[in-house]
Structure 1
Amino acid sequence: MSISDGDRQIIAAMQEGLPLASRPFAAIAAQTGLTEEALLHRIAELKARGVIRRIAAAPNHYKLGMTANGMTVWDVDVSRIAELGAKVGALPFVTHCYERPRALPHWPYNLFAMVHGATRDEVEAKRGEIAAILGSACRAHDILFSTRILKKTGLRLKQKG
């Protein structure tokens, strides 16, 4: 998939994050020599082509006081995973939720849900809420607590060589 030099300039301007401004896209537009309307149109086209999947906040949960972060993992009945995964993903304290293949016999888990909290007890309580939603469709579960942040970046363009 190729992108134009203009699209490359837009992505480069956004890849370090949007500016903290009341109109961040207007600021990016000014930086790229476009109007805000033209920039938003180009971004929509890049999203439609799959060049950009989404624009989202990537908060540093540690700096927000949420230092007990845990990936909850669940062994959920495959016939119900789509239905139940949607319910889990809609919970306000779940930042991302997705299905992954099991790696039997050592890893039976197929549903993953990231939960953040100020304490491990808070995260454990939230895990209990998820367990109640999954009910008998869940055969096993665990939680993997984070010990550090590994990555907090989005799209990065390779330098043209």
Structure 2
Amino acid sequence: MTNESVSGVDAGGDELDRRLVLATQQGLPLVPRPYAELASQLGCTEAVVRERLAAMLSSGAIRRIGAVPNHYAIGYTANGMTVWDIDDALVDEVGELVGALGFITHCYRRPRQLPDWPYNLFAMVHAGSREAALERVDEVAALIQTRFPGACRARDVLFSTAILKKTGIRLS
């Protein structure tokens, strides 16, 4: 995208971007064409809404656009954050491998908090039961051991005990 105007809106779009974030921070409209609905609310075209969202994603102003399911409502009642003590030289590669698994919804590196917390890789597993979740954790461990022998020194699973409402920053 250039610094030229897009459909009469400054490509920087500061005010439009702010209004777009305000219009979407509770979620996209649940209609067949949510971007067209947003455009109608904001007084611009659907193309401008799409372009501004793409520009904000590209610049890092927003991180992602996606659905946030209620895992319990769709049958995933055993939600476990797996924590892994992975060799620092391999943690990024292991994280890429683990994060690509279909049953992992979050996978990220975090600093260790020694001496009490040696874990540097976190990956969220969802399953219908604790037993099924633990089977998936064993599957991850076997995959890591096969691809990166000796890279994993320890692991644990922290199961959710309550649903916490997740929201990002809210503009007003």
- Whether these two folds match at TM > 0.5 is yes
User: Relative CO higher for 1 or 2, CA cutoff 8 Å, sep ≥ 6?
Assistant: 1
Aligned counterpart for 1:26 among listed residues 33, 36, 44: 36
Larger Rg: 2
Query: CA offsets per residue over residues 58-88 of structure 1, 9 Å max, x none?
Result: 1111111111100000001111111111010
Question: Aligned AA for 1:41?
Answer: E
Identity of aligned residues (%): 55
| Partner of residue 83 from structure 1, selected from 81, 88, 93 | 93
Partner Cα distance (2:42, 2:155) in 1? 48
1:46, CA displacement in angstroms? 1.8
Deviations 1:1-41 (A, max 9, x none): x9722211111111111122222211111111111101111
Q: Structure 1 unaligned runs (5+)?
A: none
- Alignment equivalent of 2:138, drawn from 110, 116, 128: 128
SS in 1 for 2:90: helix
| d(CA) in 2 for partners of 1:19, 1:64 | 21
Q: Name the SS of the counterpart of 1:143 in structure 2.
A: strand
- Aligned match for 2:161, one of 131, 147, 155: 147
Mean Cα displacement is larger for which, 106-115 or 28-37?
28-37
Aligned residues: 157
Q: 2:113 aligns with which of 99, 103, 125?
A: 103
Structure 1 stretches of 4+ moved >6 Å = none
- TM (norm. structure 1) is 0.91
Any conservation in 1 of the 2:80–2:160 contact (CA below 8 Å)?
A: yes
Q: Distance in 2 between matches of 1:3 and 1:53?
A: 17
3-state DSSP of counterpart to 2:139: helix
Give the Å deviation of 1:155: 4.1
**Between 4-13 and 103-112, the greater mean CA deviation after superposition:** 4-13
After TM superposition, the score normalised by the length of structure 2 is 0.86
Superposition deviation, residue 48 in structure 1:
2.5
Q: Which runs of 5+ in 2 are unaligned?
A: 1-11
> Over aligned residues, Cα RMSD in angstroms?
1.5
